[in-house]
Every structure is written in structure tokens, then in C-alpha cells.
């Protein structure tokens, strides 16, 4: 009996590889983010690192999901835990800065091969906070105006043209306000970039000055006027729903959602995208590694794989229609022409570079939202 037990114990010990670990990945965002890791990235990583497993936890869509990750980290930091219960987290841009400022994160970009493939400025500055080294962008997302070319042969090239068009075609433009998802928020931010009396650059890059927040009254008054000609839609998906049912002819949407819906047949293939001047915001989602992760080396390996050109091409661009997190030129080589063209037909790389803006830095962001609540929604 004793012998059997001892043998089996020995076997058990031998069979477990020394490096076996469970990598815990927290991700904000919709269910598709969880599916991405569960169905694609996780198995790929487990194949390359036998014996290790990946466990993914979705914390929910939108800022609320990232907020939950922040609260989890706050709790563990407050409790003084030596090892936290997460190895990798995927968070929205707005939350990366505060995490860096609180010294919760590992500076790892220099340690991984794909770190050199990122040069875009939003990987160094996240809404006014320096984050270079601490984050790797998983993807870049962009908002744009989706429109029905049957009703609108030439889409508005600027916010001015849009306002004129909406006046002539009342209730044909729809957006989801600011409480139903970020595509509406993005439209409002673009409005302030276009019509605010202050400098848009300051909103995007800081520093925060109280005086700047007083310069939007005129812009919000005109937005309130504009809203009379617009329809308010229930959520990001609500705008796409109304477009596909023909209830509106134009509205701001996330580019990746737009393409995914078209691919699923939820949106007519004829619909197109346009990015008006002076631009609309987009945002990356970032991979971060908590400094107190129990498996930092493995976590670095995971992020290195996730941001390698191959995975960025196959997973991010092809599967999800997101713009890649690392520089596009490194990804192009891994992609067939059709996929590449699809992503850049409606909005050319030049237009994207010119009119794809970041969101305002966090304090301005909040101030604009609150001013909207005060003067437009009230």
C-alpha cells in the first residue's frame, strides 16, 4: 500500500512540468474579447508553452469593465497582497494612465521582441499620462460615420457639412448620446474638437486647466440645436440596428463593429464609412502586466505572442476587423491583399492618420461629458 502510494506520488511529481502555471488574463470589453482569448489566443499560447494553461475572465463591456479591473487592483494594493491574482489585463486607454501613476504595472515593453514594432504616439501617452514601456496596444479602434450610399451619394467631409445635411434631412442622422456607449461619446468629442473655442490639441495632450472647460458653451448650444434634427439611438448596436432597418441614413459607429456586422449579414453590404474633418476619436486597448503578477515571465511571453505580427494579422485584423496595435506596416506582410484592402477601402490610411484622433485626456473627457449632461441633455 505504502509503496503504491509513494510510487504514485513520485509519478505525479514527475509528470508535472516544472514551469506549469495557470496564466490569469482579465479582459474588459464585450464577450468577443473573452472568446478571442478562449478560442484563439489561449490555445495558441498553450500549444507553444506546453503544460501551462490560460484562464480568461471577462469583466464586462465599456469603461465599466476596465473600472472593475481597477477596483480589483485597488483592493489588492490596499490589502498589501504580495502576489496579485492576475497576470495580464486588457484595459481601455483611459485606465492605463492611472494604473501607471499608482505604480501597479510592470515596465515590460523593452523585454519583448514586438516592443520595437510599436511607434504610434498613443502607445507612449495615454490621455495625457506617460505610459511608454508599461503598455502594449492590443488593437486600435476608431469611430467613423456609417452611411447608406443609396440615400447619401456623397458623404459629408466635415462636421460643418454634416450639420448642413442634417438640417436638410431632419431625423436621418442618429447617434447614441453619451450614456449608451462610446460611439456617441466619440461623436460628441469630435463636435467639441470642431466647435469648442479652446484648442483641441490641449484637450488631447493636456495639461488640464479649469479655464479651458469654460470654452464649450457655444459648442454645446449648437449641439443642442443639432440634436433637434437628430435621432437618439439606444447604444452602439442601436445605431447599427437603426441603420440596417433604414430608420436613419447615417450615424457614428465603431469601425470594427461595422465590419463585423457586415460580415455576419446584420448590416447591408452596401453601407459605407466616412471620417469627417477635423476628425473623430478612436482608442487602443492595452495589454498591461501587474508588477505583482505571480507569473511575470510567462505573462511577458503571452503579450509578446499576442502582439507578434502573425497574431496581429490573423487575430486582430482578420478575425475582428480592428486596426492592428503594432504598426500596420509590420502586419501588412502577413495579410492577403483582400483583407488589407477591406480594412482600408472606405477610410484610407492617409485619412486615418489625418482624422483619427485620440480621446481628450481624462479630466477634460469627464468635464465634457458632464457639460453635455448639464447643457444638452438637461
Partner 1 sequence: MPGSPFPRDPFFPKIFLSHDLLPHDLLLGSSPVMPRYSLGLALVLPALTIIVLFFIVPLTASVIGAFRIGDGFGIGNFEKAFSLYTADIIFSLAVVALSTLLIGLFSIAIGGYLVLGENPRAVAILRWLYRWPLFIPFIVVGQILRTFLAKNGLMNNILVGAGILTPLQTTGLLDWRGIVIAFVWKQTPFVALLVSGAMASIDRGTIEAARNLGASRFRILWEIIVPQVRGTLSVGLILSFVTMMSVLSVPLMINAQSPTMITADIAFRINSYGDYGVANALGFISLILTSCVAWIYMRQAVKERM
Instruction: Tell me the three state secondary structure of residue 333.
Output: coil
**Beta pairing, strands 280-288 & 136-147:** antiparallel
Query: Should residue 67 be labelled a site residue for partner 1 when binding is judged by CB under 8 A?
Result: yes
Instruction: For 175, list phi and psi in degrees, rounded to 5.
Output: -145, 165
Instruction: Pick the closer one to partner 1 by CB: 198 or 251.
Output: 251
State the pairing for strand pair 272-274/136-147.
Answer: antiparallel
**Stretch 159-188 residues interacting with partner 1 (CB under 8 A):** 176-180
Residue closer to partner 1, measured from CB, 250 or 331: 250
Q: Which of 49, 52, 233, 312 binds partner 1 (CB under 8 A)?
A: 233
Q: Does 101 bind partner 1 (CB under 8 A)?
A: no
Q: Rounded distance, CA 283 to CA 229, Å?
A: 28
Site string for partner 1, 185-224 (x = CB under 8 A): ----------------------------------------
Task: Between 139 and 372, name the residue whose CB sits nearer to partner 1.
Answer: 372
Please report how close the Cβ of residue 123 comes to partner 1 at its closest, in angstroms: 24
Q: Grid coordinates standing for 243? A: 441603420
Q: In this chain, which of 9, 16, 64, 150 binds partner 1, going by CB under 8 A?
A: 64
Closer Cβ to partner 1, 6 or 171, answer by number: 171
CA diameter of the chain: 89
Angstrom CA distances, 285 to 31, 138, 245, 295, 315, stand at 15, 6, 31, 22, 15
String marking each residue 329-368 x if it binds partner 1 according to CB under 8 A: -------------------------------------x--
Among 34, 57, 152, 232, binds partner 1 (CB under 8 A): 232
Distance of CA 336 to the CA centre of its chain: 24
Size of the site for partner 1 (CB under 8 A): 27
177 close to 364: Cβ distance less than 8 angstroms:
no
Binding flags for partner 1, 242-281, as an x/- string (CB under 8 A):
x--xxx----------------------------------
Q: Which of 234, 268, 278, 349 binds partner 1 (CB under 8 A)?
A: 234
The secondary structure of residue 341, as a DSSP letter, is: H
The CA dihedral of 258, 262, 266, 271, to the nearest 10 degrees, is 80
What is the rounded distance in angstroms from the CA atom of residue 38 to the CA atom of residue 104?
Answer: 26
Residue length of the chain:
378
Among 26, 54, 70, 223, binds partner 1 (CB under 8 A): 70
Q: Do the beta carbons of residue 59 and residue 28 sit within 8 Å?
A: yes
Q: 157 vs 374, which CB is nearer to partner 1? A: 374
Please tell me whether residue 377 binds partner 1 under the rule CB under 8 A.
yes
100 counts as binding partner 1 under rule CB under 8 A: no
Radius of gyration of the chain (CA): 23
| Among positions 30, 35, 46, 63, the unique one binding partner 1 when judged by CB under 8 A | 63
Tabulate helix, strand, coil % of the chain (nearest 5).
50, 15, 30
Q: What is residue 293's three-state secondary structure?
A: coil
β-sheet bridge partners, residue 137? 286
In whole angstroms, how close is the CB of 353 to partner 1 at the nearest point?
Answer: 29
Between 181 and 325, CB nearer to partner 1: 181
Choice between 65 and 206, CB closer to partner 1: 65
Q: Which residues bind partner 1 (CB under 8 A)?
A: 62-64, 67, 70, 176-180, 232-235, 238, 241-242, 245-247, 366, 369-370, 373-374, 377-378
Amino acid at each position: 500500500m505504502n509503496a503504491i502510494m509513494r510510487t504514485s506520488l513520485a509519478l505525479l511529481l514527475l509528470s508535472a512540468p516544472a514551469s506549469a502555471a495557470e496564466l490569469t488574463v482579465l479582459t474588459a470589453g464585450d464577450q468577443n474579447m473573452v472568446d478571442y482569448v478562449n478560442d484563439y489566443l489561449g490555445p495558441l499560447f498553450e500549444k507553444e508553452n506546453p503544460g501551462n494553461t490560460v484562464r480568461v475572465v471577462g469583466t464586462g463591456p465599456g469603461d465599466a469593465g476596465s473600472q472593475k479591473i481597477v477596483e480589483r487592483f485597488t483592493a489588492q494594493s490596499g490589502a498589501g497582497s504580495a502576489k496579485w491574482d492576475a497576470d495580464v489585463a486588457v484595459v481601455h486607454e483611459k485606465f492605463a494612465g492611472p494604473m501607471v501613476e499608482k505604480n501597479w504595472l510592470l515596465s515590460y515593453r523593452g523585454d519583448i521582441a514586438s516592443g520595437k514594432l510599436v511607434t504610434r504616439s498613443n502607445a507612449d501617452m495615454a490621455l495625457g499620462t506617460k505610459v511608454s514601456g508599461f503598455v502594449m496596444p492590443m488593437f486600435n479602434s476608431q469611430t467613423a460615420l456609417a452611411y447608406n450610399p443609396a440615400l447619401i451619394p456623397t458623404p459629408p467631409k466635415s462636421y460643418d457639412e454634416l450639420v448642413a445635411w442634417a438640417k436638410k434631412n431632419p431625423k436621418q442622422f442618429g447617434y447614441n448620446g453619451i450614456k449608451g456607449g462610446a460611439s456617441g461619446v466619440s461623436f460628441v468629442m469630435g463636435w467639441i474638437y470642431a466647435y469648442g473655442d479652446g484648442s483641441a490639441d490641449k484637450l488631447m495632450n493636456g495639461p488640464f486647466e479649469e479655464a479651458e472647460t469654460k470654452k464649450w458653451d457655444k459648442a454645446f448650444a449648437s449641439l443642442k440645436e443639432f440634436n433637434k434634427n437628430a435621432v437618439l439611438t439606444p447604444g452602439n448596436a442601436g445605431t447599427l440596428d437603426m441603420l440596417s432597418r433604414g430608420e436613419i441614413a447615417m450615424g457614428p459607429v465603431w469601425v470594427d463593429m461595422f465590419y463585423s456586422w457586415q460580415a455576419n449579414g446584420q448590416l447591408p453590404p452596401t453601407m459605407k464609412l466616412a471620417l469627417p474633418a477635423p476628425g473623430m476619436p478612436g482608442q487602443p486597448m492595452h495589454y498591461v502586466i501587474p508588477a505583482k503578477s505571480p507569473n511575470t515571465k510567462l505573462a511577458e511571453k503571452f503579450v509578446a505572442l499576442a502582439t507578434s505580427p502573425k497574431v496581429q494579422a490573423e487575430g486582430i485584423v482578420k478575425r475582428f476587423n480592428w486596426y492592428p496595435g503594432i504598426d500596420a506596416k509590420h502586419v501588412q506582410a502577413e495579410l492577403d491583399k483582400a483583407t488589407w484592402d477591406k480594412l482600408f477601402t472606405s477610410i484610407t490610411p492617409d485619412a486615418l492618420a489625418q482624422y483619427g484622433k485620440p480621446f481628450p485626456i481624462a479630466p477634460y473627457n469627464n468635464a465634457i461629458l458632464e457639460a453635455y449632461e448639464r447643457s444638452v441633455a438637461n
